[in-house]
């Protein structure tokens, strides 16, 4: 790249994956980079932009998610581009069609955007940051002569397992007519992992799906990136990260939270929030169980019913986030008849809330989670032990970290099918059983690990600075 006497101001175009759990950490990443002297152009799809807008209490046409950040002097620009479908298209209901078409049409939208941006950007565009699940950004980086940074929003363990899909195939643990069931001991940086703890897509027997095509392309593309940034902490996954670092420049810079871990200066929710604070303030400290399955996962009506009966039997206070699309069929009455009357006063059901605010409330004492990575990091930060109920994708692998490795949670279900008796028993064990003391000790340790990583000269701060200096060398 050209050599000026003045150091170039880095200007990165940032593409989050168009899913709630991926947009959420990408926004504070943009803020962190801008706070460190970067110009950022953040790209959302029209659909994500629209969802965020309509979920705000008072949307105004001139605002975008970075309006407040800009007022505090950060150079963050914001643009929206199409994802190949009209706004009214139901991406959740037509999930398969969306993910089949999106990777084919999105590169053209990206190229159109960059054809406009690259010649006229001031400061000139120097790098691109794209979610690792995209399949084509090495081609884009090469075409526009940009440094290519891959942003991974899940644990390093999940990244490394996808990264080594070829090894899993060679050894017959993945993509064979009858996948091996014995322990996997050959993945660099992963001493041992059972096949049941692999991500759901790597446990599948049908590997001809659209998702598998995306995974194959994405994890071959990431190998061509210049840097990998991971929303994790070096001390949480030291061996896995060291092994990845032998392959490519990899930086654990997490946890990436909105500033102050309070209601962020940017709003990223795609559903309207219910305010739970008043209700929570009527409850004893540590007495409320928070239940949420994130933004994306679906559960069966039967399982939702058993969880409802289990909550009812357990007698604990709870807040349950039940998204309207939690059950993938178009069933409307998913809760047992009379459930809401039965739990009156001790149970609050909402369609969405500000999770980080809820988890930060002193009344919260436990969390039934689907094991989404953002939820795990947020729960650790708030010292809330977990009941793990993974539903798909990386959640099975994240469960292993939470329950088996870090011991900050217990399984909601030991053997399927889920029953109301087991749900109730596990809830009581988490909220007040003998093992709670040990869980609280472990979660305190994990919280300290996160806090130390983010402190001045902590590992994540050091890694971030190291990344910025290596990047600057590359763009000079
Ligand atoms: N979340 C929220 N309100 C809710 C449920 C979830 O703000 O009612 C946020 C939560 O704080 C987290 C994200 O949505 O940051 C979910 O991400 P996660 O990785 O846990 O799961 P995913 O949605 O990707 O499956």
Instruction: Report the alpha-carbon angle 97-99-103, nearest 5.
Output: 125
Strand partners, 229: 151, 251
| Closest ligand 1 atom, residue 20 Cα | 23
The predicted model gives 202-211 an average pLDDT of 93
B/e letters for 135-169, b = 16+ CB within 10 Å, e = fewer, are: bbbbebbeebebbbbbbbbbbbbbbbbbbbbeebe
pLDDT on residue 1: 45
Strand partners, 74: none
Measured by CA distance, the residue closest to atom 2 of ligand 1 is 355
Token pair listed for 232: 């994790």
d(CA 90, CA 168): 35
In this predicted structure, the answer to whether residue 241 has a pLDDT above a threshold of 90 is yes
Measured by CA distance, the residue closest to atom 17 of ligand 1 is 21
Identify which of 22, 24, 395 to mutate to test ligand 1's pocket (most ligand atoms within 8 A of the CB). Answer: 24
Measured by CA distance, the residue closest to atom 18 of ligand 1 is 372
| Closest ligand 1 atom, residue 350 Cα | 8
| Closest ligand 1 atom, residue 292 Cα | 5
CA of residue 22 to ligand 1 center, whole Å: 9
pLDDT on residue 325: 86
3-state class (DSSP) for residue 361: coil
Higher pLDDT, 205 or 328: 205
- Work out the percent of the chain whose per-residue pLDDT is above 90: 84
pLDDT tens by residue, 71-113: 999 999 999 999 999 999 988 888 899 999 999 999 999 999 9
- Of 176, 177, 183, 99, give the one whose Cα is nearest residue 393: 99
CA of residue 21 to ligand 1 center, whole Å: 6
- Of 420, 380, 394, give the one whose Cα is nearest residue 159: 394
In this predicted structure, the answer to whether residue 153 has a pLDDT above a threshold of 70 is yes
- CB-based pocket (< 6 A), ligand 1: 20-21, 24, 269, 292, 294-297, 321, 352-356, 372-375, 378
Residues 6+ positions from 332 with CB-CB distance below 8 Å: none
d(CA 153, CA 374): 8
d(CA 282, CA 260): 25
Strand partners, 386: 367, 409
The predicted model gives 188-194 an average pLDDT of 97
CA of residue 378 to ligand 1 center, whole Å: 9
In this predicted structure, the answer to whether residue 267 has a pLDDT above a threshold of 70 is no
d(CA 444, CA 440): 6
d(CA 329, CA 16): 28
| Closest ligand 1 atom, residue 376 Cα | 20
d(CA 471, CA 36): 13
CA of residue 412 to ligand 1 center, whole Å: 19
Measured by CA distance, the residue closest to atom 13 of ligand 1 is 21
pLDDT tens by residue, 413-458: 998 899 999 999 999 999 998 889 999 999 999 999 999 999 999 9
d(CA 305, CA 298): 13
| Closest ligand 1 atom, residue 375 Cα | 20
Helix count and strand count (H, E) for the chain: 19, 13
Mean pLDDT of the chain: 93
CA of residue 126 to ligand 1 center, whole Å: 31
pLDDT band, very low/low/confident/very high, at 260 (cuts 50, 70, 90): low
pLDDT on residue 324: 87
In this predicted structure, the answer to whether residue 408 has a pLDDT above a threshold of 50 is yes
- Of 189, 123, 116, 186, give the one whose Cα is nearest residue 159: 189
Neighbours of 328 (CB within 10 A): 14
Identify which of 354, 360, 375 to mutate to test ligand 1's pocket (most ligand atoms within 8 A of the CB). Answer: 375
In this predicted structure, the answer to whether residue 199 has a pLDDT above a threshold of 90 is yes
pLDDT tens by residue, 42-81: 999 999 999 888 887 776 666 788 988 899 999 999 999 9
pLDDT tens by residue, 455-468: 999 999 999 999 99
In this predicted structure, the answer to whether residue 263 has a pLDDT above a threshold of 80 is no
In this predicted structure, the answer to whether residue 261 has a pLDDT above a threshold of 60 is no
In this predicted structure, the answer to whether residue 145 has a pLDDT above a threshold of 70 is yes
Number of residues that this document lists for the chain = 476
CA of residue 374 to ligand 1 center, whole Å: 6
pLDDT on residue 114: 98
The predicted model gives 322-350 an average pLDDT of 89
Residue with tokens 């699309």: 325
CA of residue 269 to ligand 1 center, whole Å: 9
């Amino acid at each position: 790249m050209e050599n000026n006497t003045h150091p170039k101001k880095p200007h990165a175009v940032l593409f989050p994956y168009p899913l709630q759990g991926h947009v959420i950490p990408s926004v504070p990443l943009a803020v962190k980079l801008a706070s460190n002297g970067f110009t950022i152009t953040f790209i959302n799809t029209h659909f994500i932009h629209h969802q965020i807008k309509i979920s705000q209490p008072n949307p105004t046409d001139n605002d975008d998610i970075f309006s407040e950040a800009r007022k505090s002097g950060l150079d963050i620009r914001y643009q929206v581009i199409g994802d190949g479908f009209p706004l009214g298209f139901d991406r959740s209901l037509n999930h398969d069609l969306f993910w089949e078409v999106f990777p084919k049409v999105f590169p053209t939208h990206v190229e159109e955007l960059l054809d406009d941006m690259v010649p006229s950007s001031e400061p000139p565009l120097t790098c691109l940051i794209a979610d690792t699940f995209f399949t084509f950004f090495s081609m884009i980086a090469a075409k526009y002569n940009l440094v290519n940074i891959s942003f991974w929003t899940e644990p390093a363990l999940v990244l490394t397992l996808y990264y080594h899909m070829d090894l899993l195939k060679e050894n017959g643990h993945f993509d064979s007519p009858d996948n091996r069931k014995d322990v996997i001991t050959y993945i660099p940086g992963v001493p041992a992992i059972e096949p049941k703890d692999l991500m759901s897509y790597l446990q599948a027997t049908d590997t001809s799906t659209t998702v598998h095509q995306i995974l194959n392309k994405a994890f071959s593309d990431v190998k061509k990136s210049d840097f990998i940034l991971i929303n994790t902490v070096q001390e949480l996954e030291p061996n896995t990260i060291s092994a990845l670092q032998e392959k490519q420049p990899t930086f654990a810079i997490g946890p990436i939270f909105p500033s102050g871990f309070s209601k962020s200066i940017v709003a990223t929710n795609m559903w309207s929030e219910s305010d739970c604070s008043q209700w929570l303030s009527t409850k004893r400290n540590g007495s409320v169980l928070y239940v949420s399955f994130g933004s994306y996962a679906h559960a069966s009506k039967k399982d939702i019913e058993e969880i409802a009966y289990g909550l009812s039997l357990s007698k604990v206070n709870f807040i349950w986030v039940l998204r309207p699309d939690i059950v993938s069929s178009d069933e409307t009455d998913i809760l047992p008849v009379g459930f809401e009357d039965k739990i009156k006063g001790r149970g609050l059901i909402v369609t969405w809330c500000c999770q980080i605010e809820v988890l930060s409330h002193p009344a919260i004492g436990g969390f039934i989670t689907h094991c989404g990575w953002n939820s795990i990091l947020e729960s650790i930060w708030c010292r809330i032990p977990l009941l793990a109920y993974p539903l798909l994708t990386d959640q099975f692998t994240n469960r292993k970290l939470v329950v088996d490795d870090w011991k900050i949670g217990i399984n909601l279900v030991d053997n399927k099918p889920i029953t109301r008796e087991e749900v109730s028993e596990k809830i009581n064990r988490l909220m007040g059983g003998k093992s709670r003391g040990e869980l609280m000790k472990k979660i305190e340790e994990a919280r300290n690990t996160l806090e130390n990583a983010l402190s001045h000269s902590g590992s994540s701060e050091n890694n971030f600075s190291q990344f910025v200096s290596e990047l600057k060398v590359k763009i000079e």
